């Protein structure tokens, strides 16, 4: 007989009870595994739906419709003063040169027909022609087949978003424009190609000319300021709190506040930057320097917490061995502890930078939502960042901005995935196992 909590039972009965208990436990484990796999499957399904939606809308945003026409680059019209400078080219009649070529391509005659033909092409065509001629003066007095972006309404029509069967008064392009589009298509002069405006263009009210280059450079400058400030301060704070600071009530309060700051909504840091840097110190809005400082304040708690965890993961035997052979506390920290903890520190920093890259709210608060056409050349030049650019485009009504917004999201996701992958690679390359 075997004694149990319920009295004496036979070995055979005890074996049956153990087997039943084991079967119940294995069933519970199987159910738990099934629930876990189901949760992962649901999460992956939502992720697939999300990425499918983004890519289905975003991939067409990397392409747009262009028209190829033969342009007679007349020196007298483009550079009437003969000085050949950016200002003289700007004073020239680049629009007239392009439209003359366009009228010839569609056979437009008469004022109303020419007005309809002129609406087919983007206003940025003349800017492109001036830049092309300025970079290559040998194009003067020659005839070249040039490619210009089509107007966003024409682009939407060619993509099928505007139905030609819709009554003329209810669509944004008239019948004469439709006739000219058909003629250009029949002649093979309309091409669907990679959008160089998206990658190399800056902010613009015309969707066919809008691009992310200015916002991308602004993001790089802002993150650079953030990294320069947040990494050394965060690592130094973590080293002091973990290795040097005495364990008393003051350090406990500091640690609690750091942990609390990690959970503060990002918009609060934006309000802080608006009140302190702009309100008190009077610094200009919408510059990468202020954006980087605000993001550094937001990222500091993450870097401090991850760096402290990395330092704490270093075995105590490393410190004891260093101290045992006569190393000072500072030598132990900088020669032994920090090199071993650096992979975790770098991983936390990169993840913090990736989080900062995707933030919009704090940058909106400090005015980086401004419409900035020029590409920032330094941290003190006005600029914007990719998340804010996406936010602005999403608010525009033109159909083409929907596609460009999704395309910019793809670029931002690629940037974020690259940074997170870099964090994994850095950790794998530098980490040591004990």
Helix H or strand E encompassing 63:
strand 63-73
Give the model's pLDDT for residue 67: 92
Q: Which residues pair with 142 in a beta bridge?
A: 73
Q: Do 139 and 132 form a contact (C-beta atoms < 8 A)?
A: yes
Closest CA to 405 of 52, 59, 145: 59
Distance CA 135, CA 408 (A): 28
The pLDDT assigned to 45 comes to 94
Helix (H, G, I), strand (E, B) or coil at 55: helix
C-alpha 283: how far from chain center: 26
Residue 183 parent element (H or E): helix 175-186
Q: Is-contact 209 148, C-beta < 8 A?
A: no
Tokens (6 digits) for 372: 């900035």
Whole-number Å distance between alpha carbons of 255 and 140: 68
> CA-to-CA distance for 434 and 426, rounded, in angstroms?
18
Q: Which of 352, 356, 332, 361 is nearest to 234 (CA)?
A: 352
pLDDT of residue 322: 87
Alpha-carbon gap, residue 21 to 17, rounded angstroms: 6
Q: Per-residue pLDDT for the chain (434 aa), expressed as one digit of tens each?
A: 555 555 565 677 767 776 777 878 888 888 889 999 999 999 999 989 988 888 888 888 899 999 999 989 888 888 888 788 888 888 888 888 899 999 999 888 888 888 888 889 988 888 888 888 888 888 888 888 999 999 988 998 999 888 888 888 888 888 899 999 999 999 999 999 998 888 888 878 888 888 888 888 988 999 999 999 999 999 999 999 988 888 888 888 888 888 888 888 888 888 888 888 888 888 888 888 888 999 999 999 999 999 999 998 888 888 888 888 888 888 888 888 888 888 888 888 888 888 888 888 888 888 777 677 778 888 888 888 888 888 888 888 788 888 888 899 998 888 888 888 887 887 777 766 65
Query: Taking CA 157 as the corner, what is the angle to CA 151 and CA 163, rounded to the nearest 5 degrees?
Result: 150
**Residue 431 to residues 42, 227, 305, 370, Cα–Cα distance (Å):** 33, 22, 18, 43
Q: In this predicted structure, what is the pLDDT of residue 382?
A: 84
Q: What confidence score (pLDDT) does residue 3 get? A: 54
pLDDT at residue 140, as a whole number: 87
pTM of the shown model: 0.81
- Predicted pLDDT of residue 7: 57
Q: What is the pLDDT of residue 432?
A: 66
Q: Is the dihedral of CA 15, 20, 24, 30 positive or negative?
A: positive
> Torsion over CA of 214, 216, 218 and 221, rounded to 10 degrees?
-140
Listed residue (278, 271, 427, 418) closest to 357, CA to CA:
418
**CA 148 → CA 124, 165, 206, 355, distances in Å?**
8, 27, 14, 38
Q: Length of the chain in residues, anyone?
A: 434
225, 285, 287, 360 from 282: Cα distances, Å: 19, 9, 13, 22
Angstrom CA distances, 128 to 98, 156, 209, stand at 11, 22, 10
CA distance 291 to 307: 23
Closest CA to 368 of 351, 390, 348: 390
């Amino acid at each position: 007989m075997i004694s149990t909590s319920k009295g004496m039972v036979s070995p055979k009965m005890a074996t049956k009870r153990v087997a039943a208990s084991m079967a119940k436990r294995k069933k519970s484990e199987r159910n738990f595994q099934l629930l876990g796999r189901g949760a992962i499957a649901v999460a992956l399904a939502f992720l697939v739906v999300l990425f499918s939606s983004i890519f289905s809308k975003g991939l067409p945003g990397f392409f747009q419709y262009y028209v190829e026409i033969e342009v007679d680059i007349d020196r007298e019209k483009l550079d009437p003063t003969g000085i050949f400078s950016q200002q003289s080219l700007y004073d020239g009649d680049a629009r007239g040169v392009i439209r003359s070529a366009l009228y010839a391509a569609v056979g437009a005659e008469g004022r109303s027909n020419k007005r309809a033909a002129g609406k087919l092409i983007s206003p940025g065509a003349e800017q492109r022609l001036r830049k092309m001629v300025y970079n290559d003066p040998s194009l003067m007095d020659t005839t070249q087949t040039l490619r210009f972006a089509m107007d966003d309404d024409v682009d939407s029509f060619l993509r099928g978003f505007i139905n030609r069967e819709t009554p003329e008064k209810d669509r944004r392009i008239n019948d004469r424009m439709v006739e000219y589009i058909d003629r250009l298509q029949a002649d093979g002069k309309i091409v669907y190609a990679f959008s160089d405006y998206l990658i190399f263009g800056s902010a613009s009210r015309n969707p066919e000319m809008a691009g992310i280059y200015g916002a991308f450079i602004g993001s790089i400058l802002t993150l650079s300021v953030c990294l320069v400030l947040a990494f050394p301060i965060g690592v130094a704070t973590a080293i002091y709190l973990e290795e040097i600071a005495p364990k008393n009530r003051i350090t406990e309060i500091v640690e609690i506040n750091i942990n609390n700051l990690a959970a503060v909504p990002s918009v609060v840091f934006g309000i802080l930057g608006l009140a302190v840097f702009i309100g008190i110190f009077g610094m200009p809005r919408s510059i990468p320097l202020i954006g980087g400082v605000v993001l550094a304040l937001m990222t500091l708690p993450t870097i401090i917490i991850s760096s402290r965890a990395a330092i704490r993961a270093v075995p105590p035997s490393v410190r004891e061995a260093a101290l045992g052979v006569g190393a000072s506390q500072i030598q132990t920290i900088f020669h032994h502890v920090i090199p071993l903890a650096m992979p975790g520190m770098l991983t936390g920093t990169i993840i913090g930078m990736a989080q900062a890259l995707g933030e919009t709210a704090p940058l909106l608060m400090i005015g980086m939502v401004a419409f900035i056409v020029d590409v920032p050349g330094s941290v003190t030049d006005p600029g914007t960042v990719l998340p804010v650019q996406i936010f602005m485009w999403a608010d525009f009504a033109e159909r083409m901005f929907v596609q460009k917004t999704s395309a910019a999201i793809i670029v931002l996701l690629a940037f974020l995935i690259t940074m997170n992958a870099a964090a994994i690679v850095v950790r794998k390359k530098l980490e040591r196992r004990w």
